[in-house]
């Protein structure tokens, strides 16, 4: 399993997930740069993602929805703020309605994903920062750690296919 650590820090309002992959940084980067690969790993296994728009450039936007086991759809977006290919990218991640308009009732996170070479593998560090401790608590109660871990753990299979 690629995920080697998960931590949430209420004082700093962060959720950090660390994973390691048996692939070079450039290959792991492609998982996020290619919308067809991204949709295979963005949602947890029981909530596969469909990427609608994908512009992984500063100022770009990624829109997607995840489809649940009952056919229910959950919409979201990224507003991309920075890209340092293939080492990192940052984005605002939020929940949305079916028109990909932000849902003001649910938390938004500011995310930084970094990929570094580590002992011939790629170490990925995923950091999400929330505006308030309450917002972090909301996503923790929604199962964000379990969902994100399940999603990230799908990447190994994609890397070997």
61-67 and 49-54: which strand pairing? Answer: antiparallel
- So what's the pLDDT on residue 85? 97
Q: pLDDT tens for residues 36-46?
A: 999 999 989 99
**Encoding tokens for residue 149?**
């871990």
CATH number at residue 119: 3.30.530.20
- So what's the pLDDT on residue 120? 86
* CA dihedral over 97, 100, 103, 109, signed as positive or negative: positive
- So what's the pLDDT on residue 131? 97
What is the arithmetic mean of pLDDT over 25-30? 97
What is the arithmetic mean of pLDDT over 16-35? 97
- Find where tokens 């929330």 sit: 130
Expressed as residue numbers, the domain containing 155 is 3-160
- So what's the pLDDT on residue 28? 97
Asked if 91 contacts 121 with a C-beta cutoff of 8 angstroms, the reply is no
Distance CA(130)–CA(70), nearest Å, equals 29
Asked if 37 contacts 30 with a C-beta cutoff of 8 angstroms, the reply is yes
**Torsion region of 97: left, alpha or beta (phi above 0 gives left; psi -120 to 50 gives alpha):** beta
- So what's the pLDDT on residue 32? 98
Distance CA(13)–CA(131), nearest Å, equals 7
Q: How far is CA 153 from the centre of its chain?
A: 12
Q: pLDDT tens for residues 111-152?
A: 999 999 988 899 999 999 999 999 999 999 999 999 999 999
Domain tally for the chain? Answer: 1
Please give the share of the chain, as a percent, with pLDDT higher than 70. 100
Q: DSSP class of residue 23?
A: S
Q: Kindly tell me if the per-residue pLDDT of 1 is higher than 80.
A: no
Q: Kindly tell me if the per-residue pLDDT of 50 is higher than 90.
A: yes
């Amino acid at each position: 399993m690629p995920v080697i650590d998960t931590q949430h820090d209420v004082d700093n309002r962060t959720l950090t997930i660390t994973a390691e992959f048996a692939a070079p940084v450039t290959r792991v980067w492609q998982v996020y740069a290619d919308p067809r690969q991204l949709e295979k790993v963005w949602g947890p296994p029981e909530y596969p993602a469909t990427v609608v728009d994908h512009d992984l450039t500063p100022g770009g936007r990624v829109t997607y929805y995840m489809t649940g086991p009952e056919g229910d759809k959950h919409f979201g977006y990224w507003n991309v703020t920075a890209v340092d290919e293939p080492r990192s990218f940052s984005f605002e991640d939020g929940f949305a309605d079916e028109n990909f308009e932000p849902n003001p009732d649910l938390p938004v996170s500011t995310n930084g994903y970094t990929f570094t070479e580590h002992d011939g593998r790629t170490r990925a560090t995923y950091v999400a920062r929330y505006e308030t401790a309450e917002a972090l608590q909301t996503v923790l109660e929604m199962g964000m750690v379990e969902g994100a871990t399940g999603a990230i753990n799908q990447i190994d299979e994609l890397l070997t296919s």
